[in-house]
Amino acid sequence: MYKVLVVEDSSTVRKIVNKLIEDNPHFTCDLCEDLAEAKSALESDNEYLAAIVDLNLPDAPNGESVELALSYNLPTIVLTGNFDEFTRAQLLDQGVLDYITKESRYSYLQVSKLVDRLRKNLTTKVLVVEDSKTSRNHICSLLRKFQFQVHEANDGLEALEVLDNHRDIKMVIADHRMPNMDGYELVRTIRHEKRLQDLVFIGLSASGDSVLTSKFIKSGANDFLSKPFYHEEFYCRIMQNLESQEMIQTIRNSANLDPLTKVYNRRFLYEKADELFSRKATRSNVIVSMIDADNFKGVNDTYGHKTGDVLLQEFSALMKDYFPDDLIVRYGGEEFTVVSVRPPKVYLSALSAFMDAVRTTQFTNHKFNITCSIGVCAEEHPSLESQLEVADARLYNAKRAGRDQIMLRDTASKSAQLV
Ligand SMILES: Nc1nc2c(ncn2[C@@H]2O[C@H](COP(=O)(O)OP(=O)(O)OP(=O)(O)O)[C@@H](O)[C@H]2O)c(=O)[nH]1
């Protein structure tokens, strides 16, 4: 749970801001109506994700509340009754994140959206690629102010190395002119790699050069920024691009994930299979396992269907713990498929550990134990379908042999040892 400090003398505005922020289950607000209350709140606890402060308070008529929040290094959003260009520029120079006029519900929605963005940014990695140290430092410090995890590279080649080492980077901001590999070549190289297709790429180009900017877009950039840029333009473009990417991800997840267990569905399995089986190098490493909870019907019959659903969710969560780098699919009912390209010994020891964990876990609030049976096909096959067929036949044999066992070839065992 993240805490947000709200300092505002109008009780109506306080209530609206509080409601909009706390509608999001990640947040709770501490409400203060003047500077004195804000001081004592910050003295007793300054673990706030952000501060939302009114510029003029009865006991702080000259922006002292803003200075206070900034002195605690809090990402600060300023609320004000009227828009004044001079004050706005002054506040942004002081280091506030944004300056929002109290006009309508829409303005307060902006505040709650920005606070949620800060929360997401804490785990969002951005790579800044720029050979000018001054410009790079400026962009990095703006990004850090918005709570991003920032990585840096001096040119395109260095950027590719960083992307390889930090595979969860979500956005790249890169200049056009750099030694070794320039921004265009970098974005073209990135777009060539399937893994990086969804990465947000924002190009930086010199002011007013529309040829450079269109060249960036044509090379595969999502957007561009002309240097020098305004603080607000910078973060509006960054936020907008990240939000579009998240929306695409949400749509994709709803097409690819099983809604109950949040592991992949069969549709995604077959899509992935094309990738895995199109190349001999990956095809020969594929290991397919069919994992089935034993006597699951009995769980439904004893505890009800809802508890059965919770068991499936907890069973899937356990699989995610033991097979973090493998593809986990709900094949149907209580039957799951795990597709791995890990070295067989490493993967099979994970299967063994998983079986042990299933035996000892107390599932659902009824705290009962279950077991599972597993059929594995580690031999090379021309298609996923035929590997699935073999793994499924072995699962059937494991069930027939008494359940709670793993069938790697023709013999069952209580743990996964290559035979
Ligand atoms: N709660 C719940 N039950 C499901 C779901 N999907 C399938 N089932 C139930 O899972 C049960 C599967 O039963 P069986 O195929 O007989 O398998 P089993 O009881 O696990 O027996 P073995 O596999 O032989 O160990 C059926 O009762 C289905 O109704 C689901 O999404 N939620």
Could you tell which of 260, 295, 297, 330 is best to mutate to test the pocket of ligand 1, judged by most ligand atoms within 8 Å of the CB? 297
Question: Ligand 1 within 6 A of 158 CB?
Answer: no
Residue 38 CB partners (closer than 8 Å, separation 6+): 5, 7, 32, 53, 65, 68, 69
Express each pLDDT in 183-193 by its tens digit. 999 999 999 88
**Residue 406, φ and ψ in degrees, nearest 5:** -120, 135
Q: Where are the alpha helices (DSSP H) in 284-383?
A: 296-303, 305-322, 344-360
Atom number of ligand 1 nearest to Cα 306: 1
Residue of the CA atom closest to atom 21 of ligand 1:
295
Give the list of residues 6+ apart from residue 370 with CB closer than 8 angstroms, or none: 293, 294, 295, 296, 299, 311, 315, 358, 363
Q: How many whole angstroms from 93 Cα to the centroid of ligand 1?
A: 62
Does residue 25 have a cis bond before it (omega within 30 degrees)?
A: no
Domains in the chain, please, with CATH? 1-117 (3.40.50.2300), 122-254 (3.40.50.2300), 264-405 (3.30.70.270)
Q: 245 alpha carbon to ligand 1 midpoint, in Å?
A: 37
pLDDT at site 208? 67
> Which sign does the torsion angle of CA 183, 189, 191, 195 carry?
negative
Contact 249, 171 (CB under 8 A): no
Whether residue 351 has pLDDT greater than 70: yes
Mean pLDDT within 138-146:
94
DSSP string covering 207-233: TT-HHHHHHHHHHT-SEEEEES--HHH
Q: Is the beta carbon of 315 within 6 A of some atom in ligand 1?
A: no
pTM of the predicted structure, to 2 decimals? 0.73
Are the beta carbons of 356 and 406 closer than 8 angstroms? no
Nearest ligand 1 atom, CA 297: 19
Answer whether residue 135 shows pLDDT above 60. yes
CA of 316 to the centre of ligand 1 (A): 15
pLDDT tens per residue across span 243-300: 999 998 889 888 999 999 999 999 999 988 887 887 777 778 899 999 999 999 999 9
* Cα-based distances in Å from 121 to 115, 144, 414: 10, 9, 45
User: Is the pLDDT score of 31 beyond 60?
Assistant: yes
Is the CB of 26 inside a 6 Å radius of any atom of ligand 1?
no
Q: Tens of pLDDT along 361-397?
A: 999 999 999 999 999 999 988 889 999 999 999 999 9
297 Cα: distance to centroid of ligand 1 (angstroms): 4
Asked whether 310 lines ligand 1 (CB < 6 A), one says: no
Q: How far is residue 380's CA from residue 280's CA, in Å, rounded to a whole number?
A: 10
Please state the atom number of ligand 1 nearest to the C-alpha of residue 308: 1
d(CA 264, CA 374): 19
pLDDT in tens, 194-222: 767 789 999 998 766 778 888 888 989 99
Pairing mode, strands 372-377 and 327-332:
unpaired
Mean pLDDT of all residues in 87-95: 88
pLDDT of residue 418: 46
Amino acid at 316: S
